[in-house]
A = this chain, B = another copy of it.
Amino acid sequence: MGLNSYGGAIVYIDLTKEKVAKKKLDEDFAKGYLGCKGFGARILYDEVSPRVDPFAPENKIILSVGPLTGTSAFGPKCSLVTKSPLTGGFLDSNIGGHIGPELKYAGYDTIVISGRSKRPVYLLIDDDNIEFKKADHLWGKDTHETDRLIKKELNDSDVHIASIGPAGENLVRFACITSDLYRQAGRGGSGAVWGSKKLKAIAIQGSRSVNIANEELFLKYSHDLRKATLEGGGPFATYGTMLFVDLINEYGMLPTKNFQSGVFPEVKKINGDAMLKTIKSKDRACFACSMHCANFCVVKHGSYAPFNIEGPEYETTTMVGPNCGLGNLEAIAYINLLCDKVGLDTISTGNIIGFSMECYEKGVLTKRDTNGLRLTWGNHEAMVELIKKITYREGIGNTLAEGVKSASKEIGKGAEKYAMHVKGLEMPAYDPRGAVGIGLGYATANRGACHSRAWTISEEVMGKLDRFSIEGKPMLVSVKMHRKNIIDALGICEQMGLLPIYVDLLSAATGWNVQAMHNKTYPSLIEDFKIKNENIMIGERIYNLARAFNIREGFRRKEDTLPKRFFEEPLPEGAAEGHFINSDEFDKMLSEYYKIKGWDKNGIPTRKKLVELNLEDVAEDLWS
């Protein structure tokens, strides 16, 4: 047994040579980066050199768990870090469910996968035993079938499996990893990286326990956590993220018809209440979580019935629904299921279909381009066909499989102005014209347009800040970015909003003296964690390290921006009618943000800042 509450080992898996090497987890490394995204960021920075093609054998897939994973203090997320085939930059993506705890129970904090297998392969991780298993018979199968076939061949239904579908195999640049049928590392195209390595799946079964430094205290705190969740869950426990459909529509910022509007007239057909009334069967939860925000749905009506699904979530519902002009919850749920099976990120898929539909509406794409598909708003039969074309790279699907940024360039004829992305990552389901802070978050998140790296909705929409003003937003986004990096390094869930309890839980689990650094401007938010005698903000360090990875790849200020539509076209209706983002103000906000962060005017972390964060080697890389 190594460090308290850690698995104790990092394992390196070389797919080219079919070799496995293990390394003991170092305590200083653990203290410096905590786990999950923190571990992944440091290893990616150190081991993937600049300008490596994301599909080259030299790119790495780094799966990590955190110090609370697999304990009663529910932190179920398994972090996946790699170089993104969509952005060419840093990518981290989280998988909920059960695969994370299983990895910890197998005795590992991190798996680093490199190389490229000659033939399709899947990894079996069974405590000390790690095997390269043939996957020729699985290649071409969807993720649900792959899950079943591996369980069958292992005679084991307790094993947890993450796999790619045909989309990942075919290197669709927004292919995802699906685990436990319904849990995805969705964003950024990690599924295509697996595909490039001929890695079909990872099956994990662990049987070890997690050592806790102060058991009694830990038990008490995790009981407090459970209590707080059960008592504080409220409607979120019932609706999950579907709670936001109505809210965001009311505020006029629900992406509709490829961000042409922020109001969807048919919202009542697809909101949380509609889900409850028509398809929801029961709550579901990630490992050990008492929030149970997930919804298991039994769809008995509509063209695709009968089928069951865990989901859809808010993002999927909005991007596949309103953003494609689709007001049919059964069809949205079916498209969600289809994406889970073929292994496509639902956010990017909804975004790209919305883009294609706007191109079709504007005459930029015609029936000749689409092999006869009528890409009219809300045409879900066409959406299903288009998803198949993307998955198998047929016709227009082959173009779209490259992501909205590349596809819009290839299509030409002005299509680029309909491509809603940042750094190549397709925009998610909040229109930043209705909350400029989240726009700043999109622009400055390392993986591209991401709503969950600085989810300012709680302050801008549900809170007291003026959502249309840039006032206070740089500091807000800065604090949130640090906070989220802590959340993502611990592997806990953003939805919990209970970070203060985690300070105590982490201290009890590890035996370290963990301190929370409260922010004066936003006292309700924890800005960062530090561990006593380690005078470093851990979240800030991780954020800057990932930023440095991008800087090394050539990313600069010009990449920290938003699609032109948000600067040029005011929202045409609803509560945010007339609002757009003033580009000068955006620039001012960005400069102020850089200043707060200690970055120069090009957005490069200064030597001083990096040294302050104990990232001397990184400072050397960027500034020597």
- Contact status B157-A152, CB under 8 Å: no
Q: Which of A137-156 contact B (CB under 8 A)?
A: 144, 147-148, 151-152, 154-156
Q: B residues within 8 A CB of A156?
A: 181, 296, 308, 310
Give min CB distance, A50 to chain B, whole Å.
Answer: 41
Q: B residues within 8 A CB of A459?
A: none
Q: B residues within 8 A CB of A127?
A: 281-282
Give min CB distance, A419 to chain B, whole Å.
Answer: 33
Contacts A148-B148, A148-B152, A152-B148 hold; do A284 and B158 have CB atoms under 8 A apart?
yes
A177 part of interface (Cβ distance < 8 Å) = no
A223 part of interface (Cβ distance < 8 Å) = yes
With beta carbons under 8 angstroms apart, the residue of B148, B155, B207 that contacts A309 is B155
A215, A216, A230, A308: residue with the most chain B Cβ atoms closer than 10 Å: A308
Q: B residues within 8 A CB of A215?
A: 223
Q: B residues within 8 A CB of A148?
A: 148, 151-152
Contacts A126-B282, A207-B292 hold; do A147 and B158 have CB atoms under 8 A apart?
no
- Contact status B154-A180, CB under 8 Å: no
Q: B residues within 8 A CB of A154?
A: 308
A283 part of interface (Cβ distance < 8 Å) = yes
- Contact status B207-A284, CB under 8 Å: yes
Give min CB distance, A601 to chain B, whole Å.
Answer: 51
- Taken together as a complex, chains A and B put the C-alpha atoms of A126 and B309 apart, in Å, by 14
A48 part of interface (Cβ distance < 8 Å) = no
- Taken together as a complex, chains A and B put the C-alpha atoms of A216 and B227 apart, in Å, by 11
- Contact status A147-B157, CB under 8 Å: yes
- Contact status B144-A152, CB under 8 Å: yes
- Taken together as a complex, chains A and B put the C-alpha atoms of A553 and B156 apart, in Å, by 42
- Taken together as a complex, chains A and B put the C-alpha atoms of A330 and B181 apart, in Å, by 33
- Taken together as a complex, chains A and B put the C-alpha atoms of A207 and B307 apart, in Å, by 19
A261 part of interface (Cβ distance < 8 Å) = no
Q: B residues within 8 A CB of A283?
A: 207
Q: B residues within 8 A CB of A129?
A: 281
A337 part of interface (Cβ distance < 8 Å) = yes
A498 part of interface (Cβ distance < 8 Å) = no
Give min CB distance, A355 to chain B, whole Å.
Answer: 29
Closest to A155 in B: B308
- Taken together as a complex, chains A and B put the C-alpha atoms of A154 and B181 apart, in Å, by 12
- Taken together as a complex, chains A and B put the C-alpha atoms of A157 and B148 apart, in Å, by 9
Give min CB distance, A560 to chain B, whole Å.
Answer: 41
Closest to A156 in B: B308
Contacts A219-B223, A223-B219 hold; do A155 and B307 have CB atoms under 8 A apart?
yes
Closest to A180 in B: B157
Give min CB distance, A180 to chain B, whole Å.
Answer: 6
A351 part of interface (Cβ distance < 8 Å) = no
Give min CB distance, A75 to chain B, whole Å.
Answer: 19
Q: B residues within 8 A CB of A349?
A: none
Q: B residues within 8 A CB of A216?
A: 223
Q: B residues within 8 A CB of A292?
A: 207
Q: B residues within 8 A CB of A157?
A: 147, 157, 180-181
Give min CB distance, A25 to chain B, whole Å.
Answer: 21
Q: B residues within 8 A CB of A209?
A: 230, 290
A205 part of interface (Cβ distance < 8 Å) = yes
Give min CB distance, A278 to chain B, whole Å.
Answer: 14
Contact flags (1/0) for A278-316 with B, using CB distance below 8 Å? 000111100000101000101000000001111000000
- Taken together as a complex, chains A and B put the C-alpha atoms of A466 and B593 apart, in Å, by 83
Contacts A127-B281, A207-B284 known; 20 new A-B pairs at CB < 8 A: A126-B298, A127-B282, A129-B281, A144-B155, A147-B157, A148-B151, A154-B308, A155-B181, A155-B307, A155-B308, A155-B309, A157-B180, A157-B181, A205-B296, A207-B283, A209-B230, A209-B290, A215-B223, A216-B223, A219-B223
Interface residues of A (CB under 8 A from B): 126-127, 129, 144, 147-148, 151-152, 154-158, 180-181, 205, 207, 209, 215-216, 219, 223, 230, 281-284, 290, 292, 296, 298, 307-310, 337
A-B contact pairs, 29 of them (CB 8 A): A126-B281, A126-B282, A126-B298, A127-B281, A129-B281, A144-B152, A144-B155, A148-B151, A148-B152, A154-B308, A155-B309, A155-B337, A156-B296, A156-B308, A156-B310, A157-B157, A157-B180, A157-B181, A158-B284, A205-B282, A205-B296, A207-B282, A207-B283, A207-B284, A207-B296, A209-B290, A215-B223, A216-B223, A219-B223
